[in-house]
Amino acid sequence: MRVLMSDLKRMIEEAAVPPERFIFLVREDGRILSANSRMIRSLHLSSPRLSEQNLFEMIHPVNLSAFRQLIQEAGESPVAGTLEIFLKNGLYHPMKWHIRTVAHAENSRVFLCVGHKLLDERRAYQFHQLGEKNYQLIFESLDAGILFQDQNGEIIAVNQKTAEILNVTLERLYQLKHIAKQWDHNWTIRTESGEIVTFEQTPFAKAISTRQRQTDVLVIHLRDGQKRWLHFSSQPLFRDHSSIPFAVVSNITDLTMERKLIRELRERKAILRSFMKKTPNLAWVVDEAGQLVFASKNFFEFFRIQEADSLQRNILELVPRSLAEELMLKHQRVLETGETVEAIQRINWADGSEFIFHIDIFLIEGISGKKIIGGHAVNLTDKFSAENKLRATNDRLLLLSRATTDAIWEWDMQTGQIFRNEALMELVGYQAGEPKGLSWWLRRIHPDDRNRVGETVRQQSEKGKLSWQEEYRFKCADGMYKPIRDRGYIVYENGLPVKMIGSIQDVSNLKSLETRLVEERLTAQKEISEMVIQAQEKERTQIGHELHDNVNQILSSAKLFFEMLQAEGADQALYKSKGIEYISLAVEEIRKLSRELVAPGLREKDLIPCIGRLLEDTRMASRLDIHFTHELDPDLLADGKKVTIFRILQEQIKNILKHSGASRIDISLIQETNQVRMTVKDNGMGFDANQTFRGIGLSGIFERIRYYEGTADIDTAVGKGCLLTVTIPL
């Protein structure tokens, strides 16, 4: 058998134990094969080479089964297992062990165990002093948590059950220091009424100060978010012939489940009371002798009896005789068979009024096997009345549908049956004799309209509206879609929709008139927009010519006069030079502005040369690397569309120069089957199209392209450049 040093190092590193570690090798039967010197000295062991010693004999009996199970699990897994146990060294020590399978010897697995004590020397001394007289409390209390604390509240000893209750490890509990300070500043402990509990108000602190036993229930929020109710019973401990306690022991009982059950019981009682108070139906509960236990508010009101005078009385004495006889028979049947009984029951009052109820009587499991009977009665009087009215309405509707030429339909929402008169079926071209349900009709509504119509009907019925109206396209028998207007009127019963009655109107002619009106409006709007654009272009051209032919000439003449001046002195020469420089700048700016204002296409018939001059001027002014490809017959485009393409390109180049910081522009102008497509792509910084405000330049592009029913799309992202795609129909 050989244990690799790498396994030992890895085990110690993963265990993250302090330097005072205990290390030994043990077989799965508990025999110790090897141990480090610290373990031999601390546990007073003989050398494993000289005598056989068994680890299981040193483990406290309460931990032995858990340790054996950990050994078994470690043998089946490559991951180290951990366990907190009490190990004997004359006295038992709380320790934490990490165990991993490392080898096999003599057909038995060998485990490497690395551990450390959970207590320092001072705490261990106190622990052993308590252990002499409180052995059973510390080691054998499995049902309750046991906590020993000194006069300052510091933990001396604690059992495994306490760690389980607090959902932590023994090691974590023994690491806690300055309990009083942490209690008041880091932890939130409350009473059951929600008040904060300070350390001085805890049962163990009061037991020390009062020298008497103290009990209380504390509500603690654990680190994992759980909330637990813990009952503390704290008793002060005294040394012989001393009246001053040196420690306190607390018995901790977890009441969380009990409190949750109590709260659940209260909630159920509140729900039952609320149900009995607010249900619109008659409800009652009686015992096997027929005495009333509970009843709903409406039960007492309907039978005109007082709740205080009715409970614990026989229900047969509280209801009318005709009903009492029926109830007695039904109650007896439920008691004998245990099966639920349903019935429709009429109740006649002395004043001649009649009520109709649907009654359910059923068996309820009682306390200690006692049989309890529950009853529930739903008033159907209004329903029967409504059904009679609906039956009469159906008869009238049938007569009216035969007498009118209007397209009429009726939908019974409870049975799903739909009636359509002959006029409606003739309108859509189908035979009237064959039954056709709701799904048949919905499948023939145009897919683009189907969801909208269904949503309208659903919303109006859920909101309690009396009617709805929708226009949609319906596929007739000839396969063509016909525009129709559908109106529905909703009939309610007890607040629930039970029937719809409606009519259908053919709106084909109306839709045709609306389409013609829209087309005429669009044509007129296009003509107006074209006139506006032409006027704008004319005005821009006129302003451009005026700037070039008039203002520019004036500035040029002023420049000549400046040049003819004979400057005397350095200052005069500087003034002359600056004046000529600024006039030259003004002349150049006016020349650029006049070029932008005057669309070359208005003066020349060919769009491509105009674009070429625009790009050449841009190259000279900016040194941009511009590539232009085109496949277009300009004669296929109207003059207005040529101007639009030129203006869009001009505007986008201006945007690139101003904002993008690009070094290259690729422009494509392609003629496709029925449209012209222009793309302008740059390698600039790009922008976030969702967050960038659409300025005047982009808005102008979209406005111009929208007039010709074209499309414009911008594909860009930060750091990805920008691609503008524009299409205009031929």
- Note the pLDDT tens digit of each residue in 526-565: 666 666 666 666 666 666 655 555 565 566 656 666 666 6
DSSP 3-state assignment of 176? coil
Q: Are 338 and 346 in contact (CB under 8 A)?
A: no
Can you tell me the distance from the alpha carbon of 441 to that of 407, in angstroms, rounded to the nearest whole number? Answer: 14
Can you tell me the distance from the alpha carbon of 660 to that of 720, in angstroms, rounded to the nearest whole number? Answer: 11
**Would you state the pLDDT for residue 1?**
47
Average pLDDT, the chain: 79
Provide the CATH topology of domain 604-729. Heat Shock Protein 90 (3.30.565)
Residue 650 pLDDT grade (very low, low, confident, very high; cuts 50, 70, 90): confident
**Would you state the pLDDT for residue 354?**
79
Task: Give the ranges where 547-632 is alpha helix by DSSP (H).
Answer: 552-564, 569-597, 600-603, 607-622
Can you tell me the distance from the alpha carbon of 492 to that of 498, in angstroms, rounded to the nearest whole number? Answer: 6
Between the CA of residue 389 and those of 135, 395, 398, 413, what are the distances in Å?
85, 10, 14, 16
Q: Are 644 and 704 in contact (CB under 8 A)?
A: yes
Task: Give the ranges where 598-717 is alpha helix by DSSP (H).
Answer: 600-603, 607-622, 639-655, 696-707
CATH number of 384-506: 3.30.450.20
Query: 720: Cβ–Cβ under 8 A, 6 or more apart, which residues?
Result: 686
Residue 696 pLDDT grade (very low, low, confident, very high; cuts 50, 70, 90): very low
Q: Is CATH 3.30.450.20 correct for 5-117?
A: yes
**Would you state the pLDDT for residue 197?**
92
List the beta bridge partners of residue 295: 284
Residue 207 pLDDT grade (very low, low, confident, very high; cuts 50, 70, 90): very high
CATH superfamily to which 279-379 belongs = PAS domain (3.30.450.20)
Whether this prediction's pTM lies above 0.85 is answered by: no
Give the domain ranges of the chain.
Answer: 5-117, 123-261, 279-379, 384-506, 507-598, 604-729
Can you tell me the distance from the alpha carbon of 189 to that of 208, in angstroms, rounded to the nearest whole number? Answer: 19
Within this chain, domains 5-117 and 279-379 share the same CATH topology: yes
Torsion of CA 130, 136, 137, 142, to 10 degrees: 150
**How many CB atoms are located within 10 Å of the residue 715 CB?**
14
Query: 374: Cβ–Cβ under 8 A, 6 or more apart, which residues?
Result: 283, 284, 285, 361, 362, 363, 364
- Note the pLDDT tens digit of each residue in 514-530: 777 877 777 766 666 66
Check whether 111 has a pLDDT greater than 70.
Answer: yes
> What does DSSP assign to residue 690?
T
Long-range contacts of 721-724 (CB under 8 A, 24+ apart): 721/660, 721/662, 721/681, 721/682, 721/683, 721/684, 721/685, 721/686, 722/656, 722/660, 722/681, 722/682, 722/684, 722/686, 722/687, 723/679, 723/680, 723/681, 724/652, 724/679, 724/680, 724/681
**How many CB atoms are located within 10 Å of the residue 346 CB?**
14
Check whether 603 has a pLDDT greater than 50.
Answer: no
The answer to whether the Cα torsion of 252, 257, 258, 263 is positive or negative is positive
**How many CB atoms are located within 10 Å of the residue 653 CB?**
21
List the beta bridge partners of residue 81: 99
Can you tell me the distance from the alpha carbon of 461 to that of 450, in angstroms, rounded to the nearest whole number? Answer: 17
**Would you state the pLDDT for residue 539?**
65
Of 16-20, 229-233, 237-241, 267-271, where does mean pLDDT reach its minimum? 16-20
Can you tell me the distance from the alpha carbon of 27 to that of 54, in angstroms, rounded to the nearest whole number? Answer: 9
Can you tell me the distance from the alpha carbon of 497 to that of 461, in angstroms, rounded to the nearest whole number? Answer: 7
Query: How crowded is the C-beta side of 497, counted as CA atoms within 13 Å?
Result: 21
Task: Give the ranges where 176-255 is alpha helix by DSSP (H).
Answer: 179-185, 203-210
CATH for 123-261, among 3.30.450.20, 3.50.50.60, 3.40.50.720, 3.30.470.20? Answer: 3.30.450.20
The answer to whether the Cα torsion of 125, 128, 132, 135 is positive or negative is positive
**Would you state the pLDDT for residue 59?**
82
Task: Please report which helix (H) or strand (E) contains residue 449, including its range.
Answer: helix 447-462
For residue 174, give the nearest of 253, 120, 228 by alpha carbon. 120
Torsion of CA 680, 682, 687, 688, to 10 degrees: 50
**Would you state the pLDDT for residue 418?**
84
Q: Are 393 and 480 in contact (CB under 8 A)?
A: no
